């Protein structure tokens, strides 16, 4: 059963990752810090009024760092990111995944059954690491508990935990367990059928043996809203049903609010498959990347948002986390542009209660300066929309 959390109309939240500060990256890697790193820690600590940030500065001046000190620096990084989001005015926050290596790598590194294979390009000159499944999959240890417990102790705003979903983990992995080298002289149709069956077994094993126990553990610690991140969900057009099955297998019967994040896809592909995903109470979806930067609330001015009607018409009436910030560009969306994107969505849905407002995706490819400006303008734009709607 997916629990409902009663949220105000046009709720704002982040989606997931933020860039990691230079001082955090260097300290963790054992590299020397310079004055620029210390100044970054000082200036953001001051700007975000991070309590006792001078203690971090003192710590950073005492390299090399022990394992415990590195963990402490990671927690400082979490605290800074949390304060950045709270300071930008977001209603629901997390820590920009400061304690994780990366959304995929972190998950498979806490899992039995995977081996690292190296990195591959995602886009431009951005790379991500890939692993191969080589044996039975099981959770080595719950891998978000420590960060969540810490964030509960320091957050002022409500928390939403981003967790990488089963389909994406499987899709971003090589399969050396279920899939086999086949003789290309065999009929292609038969080879394809075997490949698809192997894929199904793989994805559902990740759901049942990795994602679900990890979610269960978080719920035991008091987690109320968990966002299952599925940027890979629509990768294979003929596997949307498998994506839905994997989501349902991951969350069925667990007592929390579950949402999912989708991005950089042809969102039309998700329909009708997600009609069966009624335990998903919110879809956080990136649209700004496809939209124009002109002001206006007509269909012509908002080409990136035409597909939202399909989310509106889902019978179980989930909220839509409306992506209004292009996370692959340093362009700072004005509050007015955010306002118009929000007003357009409210017009289409006819109910501001079903619209939440978010960036398109995690902001980790942007500097903190850019991310902060974007988020501040996002909350300012939502305020303008609220004034227009008188809510």
Partner 1 sequence: MDLYSDGLLKWQDIFRPLMGALGVKPHTLVRWFDTNTFFRAPELGGRIQTVTNPDGVVPDASVPRPRAATLPSPFMFSRAAHTDQDRNRLMIELARQVLRPAIDAAVAGGAELIHLQDPWLGYFGIKPDDWAPLGEALGVLHHELKATLAFHVYFGDAGPHIDQLQRLPVDAIGVDLIETDVAELGSGWDKGLVAGIINGRSSILESLDNTVEVARHLADTVRPRNLYLTSNCELGYLPTGVAERKVLRLGEAARKAKELVSV
**Where on the chain is the footprint of partner 1 (CB under 8 A)?**
117-125, 128, 130, 132, 171-172, 174-176, 179-181, 183-185, 187-189, 191-192, 232, 234-237, 264-266, 289-290, 328-329
Contacts of 27 (CB under 8 A, 6+ apart): 33, 60, 63, 65, 69, 70, 73
The sign of the dihedral angle between the CA atoms of 59, 64, 66, 68 is: positive
Judged by beta carbon, residue 72 or residue 176, the one nearer partner 1 is: 176
SS3 87: helix
Measured between alpha carbons, how far is 4 from 170 in angstroms, rounded to an integer? Answer: 29
Distance between CA atoms of residues 325 and 82, nearest Å: 19
Q: CB–CB of 322/358 below 8 Å?
A: yes
Can you tell me the distance from the alpha carbon of 258 to that of 216, in angstroms, rounded to the nearest whole number?
12
Return the SS3 of 222.
Answer: coil
Q: Return d(Cα 122, Cα 141) in angstroms, integer.
A: 28
Pick the closer one to partner 1 by CB: 306 or 383: 306
State the pairing for strand pair 257-262/174-175: unpaired
Query: How many contiguous H segments (helices) and E segments (strands) does the chain have?
Result: 13, 12
Strand order in the sheet with 111-123: 111-123, 126-139, 174-175
Contact 376, 88 (CB under 8 A): yes
Q: Decide whether 65 or 264 has the Cβ nearer to partner 1.
A: 264
Distance between alpha carbon 372 and the CA centroid of its chain, in Å?
A: 17
Q: State both tokens at 264.
A: 């950089």
Task: Lay out the sheet containing 161-164: strands in order across.
Answer: 11-12, 355-358, 319-323, 280-285, 257-262, 225-229, 161-164
Q: How far is the CB of 326 from partner 1 (least distance, A)?
A: 9
Smallest distance from the beta carbon of 241 to partner 1, in angstroms? 15
Q: What is the nearest approach in angstroms of partner 1 to the Cβ of residue 184?
A: 5
CA 184 to chain centre: 39
Instruction: Name the residue nearer to partner 1 (CB basis): 200 or 317.
Output: 200
The four Cα atoms 211, 214, 220, 224 give a dihedral, to 10 degrees, of -50
Select 40 or 360, whichever has its Cβ closest to partner 1.
Answer: 360
Q: Which residues pair with 127 in a beta bridge?
A: 121
Q: Which is nearer to partner 1, 141 or 241 (CB)?
A: 241
């Amino acid at each position: 059963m997916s629990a409902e959390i009663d949220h105000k109309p046009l709720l704002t939240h982040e989606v997931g990752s933020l860039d990691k500060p230079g001082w955090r990256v260097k300290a963790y890697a054992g590299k020397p810090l310079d004055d620029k790193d210390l100044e970054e820690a000082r200036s953001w600590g001051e700007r975000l009024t991070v309590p006792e940030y001078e203690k971090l500065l003192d710590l950073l001046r005492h390299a090399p760092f022990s394992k415990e000190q590195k963990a402490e620096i990671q927690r400082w990084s979490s605290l800074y990111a949390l304060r950045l989001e709270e300071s930008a005015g977001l209603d629901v926050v997390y820590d920009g995944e400061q304690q994780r290596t990366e959304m995929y790598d972190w998950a498979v590194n806490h899992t039995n059954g995977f081996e690292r294979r190296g990195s591959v390009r995602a886009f431009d000159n951005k790379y991500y690491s890939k692993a191969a499944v080589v044996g039975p999959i099981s959770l080595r240890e719950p891998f978000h508990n420590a960060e969540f417990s810490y964030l509960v102790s320091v957050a002022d705003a409500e928390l939403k935990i981003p967790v990488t979903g089963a389909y994406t983990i499987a899709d971003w992995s090589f399969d050396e367990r279920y899939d086999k080298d086949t003789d290309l002289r065999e009929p292609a149709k038969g080879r394809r059928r075997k490949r698809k069956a192997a894929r199904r077994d793989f994805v559902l094993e990740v759901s049942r043996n990795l994602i679900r126990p990890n979610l269960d553990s978080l719920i035991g610690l008091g987690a109320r809203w968990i966002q299952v991140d599925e940027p890979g969900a629509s990768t294979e057009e003929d596997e949307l049903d498998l994506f839905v099955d994997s989501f349902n297998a991951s969350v069925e019967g667990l007592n929390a609010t579950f949402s999912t994040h989708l991005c950089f896809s042809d969102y039309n592909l998700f329909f009708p498959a997600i009609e069966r995903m009624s335990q998903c109470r919110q879809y956080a979806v990136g649209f700004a990347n496809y939209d124009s930067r002109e002001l206006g609330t007509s269909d012509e001015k908002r080409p990136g948002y035409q597909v939202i009607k399909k989310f509106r018409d889902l019978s179980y009436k989930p909220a839509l986390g409306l992506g209004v910030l292009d996370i692959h560009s340093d362009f700072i969306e004005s509050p007015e542009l955010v306002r118009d994107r929000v007003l357009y969505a409210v017009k289409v849905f006819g109910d501001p209660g079903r619209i939440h407002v978010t960036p398109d995706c995690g902001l980790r490819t942007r500097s903190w300066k850019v991310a902060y400006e974007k988020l501040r303008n996002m909350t300012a734009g939502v305020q303008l929309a609220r004034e227009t709607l008188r809510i």
